[in-house]
Chain A
């Protein structure tokens, strides 16, 4: 158990702790299963965060705190009883187990089996998460200064830095215990640029499952300069076109397309409930043969990566679309059981206060053979979409939108005018069937993507190469 994580444990339930021993875990699990059920699990979570926010060159506030608690879940087929305790006091855990146990009606108690600790490979070893408070302030200030110095038209800069040290332990009545330390660092800069009567904003941020070493890979200045660059480009932006046309998606950020157009619809809870447009379509063609999509929790350091999922299973990459053919859904334990599959690995939750469900981790499109320049050259009139701020999907009809914040008109194979922000809209399988070129330039977005589902937020990653869609609807105003 554990041991592989370099960062020292802080949680009172960490392996070897006296406060939470096998005996207590066993008692709580037995209590949870007292009225029956297929299995029960406990999700211990310790989360310490340290944050600094800077406004207009001055630290506005320093904040931090610890959240500690345990979620108790009892599962009987697809039915879930759930309760949580804020803390690890035995009597609170037993009370939560009583509440959760009420979901199961009839049947006797089920004996829990002896605990086996899961071996995990650490995908994000972090030498130290301890970033001293003064150093946190200094990192944000460096980003702030870089943005300010980028151009005299930058009139305002705000920034923030958040460092999270999270430890989780999942104990199941099936006898498996998994423990993981999950670091996260995130920096964010936003700027306002003014020129004449035009005013525009720009934003940049990044991070992942790193410690302070993230800033050796990407210095804070890079985010300050990037935020300034986007704002300055947008000072010259023109109204985006309206209508259906070819769209070239730049490598990196555009992976949000996969997250919305494909990923959510393949979360198996929607397919168990038959509410997704991908229901019963495994084995069918749902995209162009150039499209292969993977959800990969094992990428080193990426924001969406996890060593164990929140149901205590070691995840592996899930190949979702293989050469245009739908090959798999993303499963948690309930859906894996429903579909008769041995492994899940995609069960995630926001915190100990929430039930797990199938979620994405890092959703990626595999690189193709095309040269990115030649992809742009192939378009007579269309849009080159470079950066996005987010998206949304209706998983039933498959329609998705994503919000363009930096884009350019393509005229006769060349990038011309920068475009004002606009939503792009398409239908998952229909849009992906129009993919006609895929670049060799795969890029993982260093974004700050956070995915929302049923009110729960989890960090995710996205990535893709440059891709051309022959048809997508661009929601501008000019036509």
Chain B
């Protein structure tokens, strides 16, 4: 059943106007999802559903309230909006909370290819077949693969409309599909080693070969057999691209306007200063072709643009929604998220710009170091930059990977990590909205044996 998203949004806005609300944002959306998992060849889950919802932010006399509902019947929506207005009365006036001026809103929404009808129409039986292929490849790789957490396929598709009291009306549609495998190999002392790998994209045709995903998961499980601690000390660290992006994500958490004005970022006072080595160039680009984080307008209806956040090590810009920009006395960057909720600053596709060498070349010249392929835990304090996390990977000796390492932590202040980046590889891909190529950090403390 197709829902008239624009119709529902416009009716809601008109109702709010009639009830005397000065400012409002309404977001109406629908989504469909399919999730399938297969384990040891047998289907374990087929989940299929569709959902829809409306969320709203109302501002009455500079007082803000937000709410959401899944009941889109006209009468229900009207009742729902009245309750939201009632809630605002309890809030406190904040003149900075007003939405952008109408003149600041996007008038031309560019076209981006973010919706693949083939993803939305992909059938459960085909998903099961794809997951089976991936899992079989894992079991076929090595007899030491003893079990499997299974292979999972999921697809989601959504359409949503943002309508604001300032006159903005925009629609965004998107799809995303992914396939993951986790393979298990038995180790000594009852320990098991799991290896996982996955592929994801907005378009079906961009998914990697399912068998290759299964194979890589199995390879990782087998390669980590016999993992041991490393002696406590200081080592050069090569971050594989899948963990490197987590480091870029930490930088992201410190350059968002919300963190900056709330004094929860060690970068708050560093605009224009060197925050990393010359290899550190980080870009926020909403226009990446088929990018998972791509968008054509932000959550307040402002136009969006590509922006260098860090350039050759210098912090150039924060990412700001209207509120955080006003708090900081800076210009908004079209980085709001959460249309219909409290807008907050957000990244689109945020990535570390690729270097010029293959990832393998990062190992060259390292006498004794650590290649990190997985990290665990949440040991990062944005206020101080203090960083300490669990890690798994491989010892590097004489420029070569020699043996698997586990049950250790790596730590150093993020400021030191970013200044310590001495080489960046060329293996960037936009599988996730925040992404990074592999890179080398000159030294970090490893705590282990």
Contacts and interface: CB of A to CB of B under 8 A. Distances in A.
B28 to A, nearest CB: 14
Q: How large is the interface on B (under 10, 10 to 19, 20 to 34, 35 or more residues)?
A: 35 or more
B44 to A, nearest CB: 6
B361 to A, nearest CB: 28
B329 interface: no
A244 B449 contact: yes
B149 A99 contact: no
Contacts of B90: 52, 59, 62, 133-134, 136-137
A355 interface: yes
A177 interface: no
A475 B379 contact: yes
Contacts of B67: 63-65
B409 A401 contact: yes
Interface stretch (A372-380, A408-416, A423-431): A423-431
Interface stretch (B210-218, B307-315, B383-391): B383-391
Contact of A475 (B49, B71, B342, B411): B411
Given A86-B51, A86-B70, A355-B47, A425 B91 contact: no
B386 A275 contact: no
Interface string A56-72: 00111111111111000
Contacts of A446: none
Given A473-B447, A474-B447, A192 B383 contact: yes
A242 B445 contact: yes
A277 interface: yes
Interface string B262-283: 1110100000000000000000
A183 to B, nearest CB: 20
Contact of B42 (A78, A243, A400): A78
A60 B149 contact: no
B390 A63 contact: no
B409 A425 contact: yes
B94 interface: yes
Contact of A398 (B43, B83, B191, B224): B191
A392 interface: yes
A121 interface: no
Given A82-B47, A200-B384, A62 B192 contact: no
B65 A63 contact: yes
A201 B383 contact: yes
A67 B392 CA distance: 41
Interface stretch (B182-190, B197-205, B290-298, B352-360): B182-190
Contacts of B367: none
Contact of A275 (B88, B182, B341): B182
B64 interface: yes
Contact of A55 (B262, B410, B447): B262
B406 A399 contact: yes
B149 A275 contact: yes
A102 interface: yes
B412 interface: yes
Contacts of B224: 397
A459 interface: no
A2 interface: no
B422 interface: no
Given A201-B264, A401-B390, A425-B407, A60 B94 contact: yes
A312 B104 CA distance: 53
Contacts of B229: 473
Contact of B91 (A62, A84, A473): A62
B178 interface: no
B22 interface: no
Most buried by B among A82, A155, A281, A394: A394
A97 B64 CA distance: 40
B147 interface: yes
Contact of A192 (B52, B88, B264, B392): B264
A401 B412 contact: no
B198 to A, nearest CB: 13
A278 B191 CA distance: 8
Contacts of B46: 79-82, 102-103
A399 B445 contact: no
A201 B263 CA distance: 9
Contacts of A63: 65-67, 87, 341-342
Contact of A396 (B48, B194, B264): B194
Interface in B28-69: 39, 42-49, 51-53, 64-69
A391 B39 CA distance: 28
A361 interface: no
Contact of A397 (B383, B406, B449): B406
B331 interface: no
B192 A477 contact: no
Contacts of B148: 273, 275
B44 A80 contact: yes
Interface in B359-388: 376-379, 381, 383-384, 386, 388
A13 interface: no
B70 A87 contact: yes
A199 interface: yes
B34 to A, nearest CB: 10
Contact of A83 (B49, B52, B94, B377): B49
A158 B262 contact: yes
Contact of B194 (A58, A240, A275): A275
A402 B376 CA distance: 9
B248 to A, nearest CB: 20
Nearest to B342: A61
A476 B37 CA distance: 40
Nearest to B196: A396
A60 B342 contact: yes
Interface string A87-111: 1000000001001001100000000
Given A156-B263, A477-B411, A65 B69 contact: yes
B262 A423 contact: no
Contacts of B184: 274-275, 396
23 contacts: A69-B70, A79-B43, A83-B48, A86-B51, A156-B262, A244-B447, A273-B149, A274-B184, A275-B147, A275-B192, A279-B190, A394-B392, A397-B193, A399-B406, A400-B376, A403-B377, A420-B384, A421-B381, A425-B409, A473-B448, A474-B447, A475-B389, A479-B445
Given A60-B64, A86-B53, A399-B390, 8 more contacts: A64-B83, A192-B262, A244-B232, A273-B147, A397-B193, A400-B376, A401-B377, A425-B447
For the complex of A and B, list the 9 residue pairs with the smallest distance between their C-beta atoms, beginning with the closest.
A475-B409, A401-B377, A401-B390, A242-B447, A396-B194, A133-B90, A59-B92, A423-B379, A82-B47
